[in-house]
Structure 1
Amino acid sequence: MNPADFDLQASISRLFVYPIKSCAGVELQESLLIETGLEFDRAWMVVDEGGEFVSQRELPRMALIRPTLRHGDMVLRAPGMLALHIAFDRVEGPVRVRVWDDEVAAYDMGDIAAQWFSDFLSEPGQPKKKLRLVRFDPEHKRLSSRKWTGEVEAPNQFADGFPILAISEASLAEFNARMAAAGHEAIAMERFRPNLVLAGIEAHDEDRVDELRIDTGEGGQVLLRPVKPCARCTIPDVDPATAQTGTAVNETLRSYRADPRLDGALTFGMNLIVLEGVEQPLRVGQTAGANLRFE
């Protein structure tokens, strides 16, 4: 890849996957790109007894559930709980569940997992929650909104709406400068839950590029298209170390990130879709070229 062919050149500085929707992420040095994003990203989800997904919005303690990915299973740890092992090759019966407006096919992960999540996420002195862990059915096709992807069919698993979220280091640095000016402590990138963290570009350049072309170093390339700014809810105000909630993150975003593209919603980071490179590896240190988009 010739840098002279692009307006901007970035590098991947960090990679994250979030195996269970709204639980802690896993930082990796390498991840396989699949049709729905990074392998194992949002492949599992916690649902209530009606099959509706739950998240840190109503259950901030989900932030304290920390997965570890191993060769054949995922190990979940949480304060005060024994480790829970989730095998990659075993599921229970098929179920139907809801994530936002989509009803999708999934597989229940069994009673032991259900008990573990129900125990940890129930509040002392409150009625016991009845929660289940489910895994996305890979035969089901859940597509990103064609309003944003146009002619491209972009499948997801349990992500909010798009396969990949990218944020630049410079965007976080600018945000933290504004936090400091308002008398707040800096926060880590983990609050914004990106998949790709990009180094070497200016703040919010990820908002302004047409495509990211990533050299995999093995004769292949990955082509990702930014399609929609990421509208922010209250989850970035949940401290991933303590599950305590605050207001400083959204207050700071409100001061400069009201986005006319989304009718004034607060945005930070860009949602990407996969155009090319399925089954290619993404690694920390890979370079990405991009041209600025002018509309």
Structure 2
Amino acid sequence: MVLGGLYRYPVKSLRGEALTSMVVGARGLLYDRHWMLVDGEGRFLTQRELPRMALVRPRVQGSGLILAAPDMPDLQVQPDSDEQLQVQIWRDLCTARVMSRVADQWLSEFLDVACRLVYLPEEQVRQVDQDYANTEDQVGFADGFPFLLISRASLDDLNRRMGLSLPMERFRPNLLVEGCAAYAEDGWKRIRIGDLEFRVVKPCSRCAIPTIDPETGQRTGKEPLKTLASYRKHGHQVYFGQNLIHDAQGQLQTGMPVEILQ
């Protein structure tokens, strides 16, 4: 088994980046979900409410971003504000910093909703859910965990059942594993990728975001949730992929071997 893909999402719920090598820091992949959009009350915004967020492509440049979207001029953004903002992501409250009023205007215009771009400063620590984590484990603005892993075989099986060919991008993993059986990741407890070890702590329950076409920013119907519900439903949730927590910092690179430790 090998690491077949590495994906980072600099701004929560905007488009991701596929890279061949990434640094793993305290919160996970460096700059993964480091930024987030919030409304006027400081509540986080996602594609669940604003599918057009899928059309915005952020790219990390130094300590800032380059934002691109259809029919908009590319925008280079660097942090230029000392303003702090109390923000809410699910049940967590964090003190974030405002990135740039220019970015707020650009994003508000494209999404047609008033919003602000914030980031999580290094001195702020957002703990991972202590039901699944150690005290020192932390995460950025991801929903709950530093890493999401899916195997290529699992997506291939799902596409076969649907009679479709949805890309992995729909499911927004960080780690794509190749060379295992479909849903083999469901049985893993601890793995090693290169020199880094990870705890496999919780299946990923899926929301409506995989029903949004990232190329159009439009909902495409009930798939893949309809098919997943026919064989991956437990209680009121459907599950696809596994959430991971890393035990150390270092480097990940595509092609690295993946070893099952437990």
The TM-score with structure 2 as length reference comes to 0.96
Q: Which residue in the other structure is 1:160 paired with?
A: 143
Q: Which residue in the other structure is 2:175 paired with?
A: 196
For 1:163 and 1:91, the matched residues in 2 are separated by 27
Alignment of 1:180-191 (within 5 A): 180=163, 185-191=164-170
Q: Which residue in the other structure is 2:97 paired with?
A: 107
How far has the Cα of 1:93 moved from its partner?
1.3
How far has the Cα of 1:130 moved from its partner?
1.6
- 3-state SS in 2 of match to 1:148: coil
Q: Which residue in the other structure is 2:223 paired with?
A: 248
How far has the Cα of 1:104 moved from its partner?
0.3
Q: Which residue in the other structure is 2:238 paired with?
A: 266
The amino acid that maps onto 1:43 is: H
Q: In the alignment, does 2:254 pair up with 1:284?
A: yes
The TM-score with structure 1 as length reference comes to 0.85
- 3-state SS in 2 of match to 1:33: strand
Alignment of 1:1-295 (within 5 A): 10-71=1-62, 73-87=64-78, 90-122=80-112, 129-149=113-133, 151=134, 153-180=136-163, 185-215=164-194, 221-245=195-219, 246-259=221-234, 263-276=235-248, 278=249, 280-292=250-262
Partners of 2:192 and 2:261 within 8 A in 1: no
How far has the Cα of 1:68 moved from its partner?
2.1
For 1:32 and 1:121, the matched residues in 2 are separated by 31
Partners of 1:213 and 1:222 within 8 A in 2: yes
Partners of 1:52 and 1:97 within 8 A in 2: yes
**Which aligned segments of 4 or more residues in structure 1 are displaced greater than 6 angstroms?**
none
For 1:17 and 1:50, the matched residues in 2 are separated by 27
Per-residue Cα deviation, 1:236-288 (whole angstroms, up to 9, x for no partner) = 000000011021111111111113xxx34101000000112x1x110000011
The amino acid that maps onto 1:136 is: L
How far has the Cα of 1:92 moved from its partner?
3.4
- 3-state SS in 2 of match to 1:143: coil
- 3-state SS in 1 of match to 2:12: coil
How far has the Cα of 1:71 moved from its partner?
4.3
- 3-state SS in 2 of match to 1:147: coil
- 3-state SS in 2 of match to 1:255: helix
- 3-state SS in 1 of match to 2:73: coil
How far has the Cα of 1:152 moved from its partner?
5.0
For 2:222 and 2:121, the matched residues in 1 are separated by 36
Report which of the two structures shows the higher radius of gyration computed on alpha carbons: 1
Per-residue Cα deviation, 1:73-116 (whole angstroms, up to 9, x for no partner) = 421100111111122x6543111101111010110012111111
The amino acid that maps onto 2:257 is: T
For 1:75 and 1:189, the matched residues in 2 are separated by 24
- 3-state SS in 1 of match to 2:131: helix
The amino acid that maps onto 2:238 is: L
How many corresponding residue pairs? Answer: 261
Identity fraction in percent: 40
The amino acid that maps onto 1:188 is: P
Which consecutive unaligned segments of at least 5 residues does structure 1 have?
1-9, 123-128, 216-220
How far has the Cα of 1:291 moved from its partner?
3.7
Partners of 1:146 and 1:153 within 8 A in 2: no
Partners of 2:127 and 2:135 within 8 A in 1: no
- 3-state SS in 1 of match to 2:247: strand
Which consecutive unaligned segments of at least 5 residues does structure 2 have?
none
For 2:201 and 2:77, the matched residues in 1 are separated by 33
Larger displacement relative to structure 2 (15-24 or 131-140): 131-140
- 3-state SS in 1 of match to 2:215: coil
Partners of 1:95 and 1:105 within 8 A in 2: yes
How far has the Cα of 1:70 moved from its partner?
3.2
How far has the Cα of 1:69 moved from its partner?
2.6
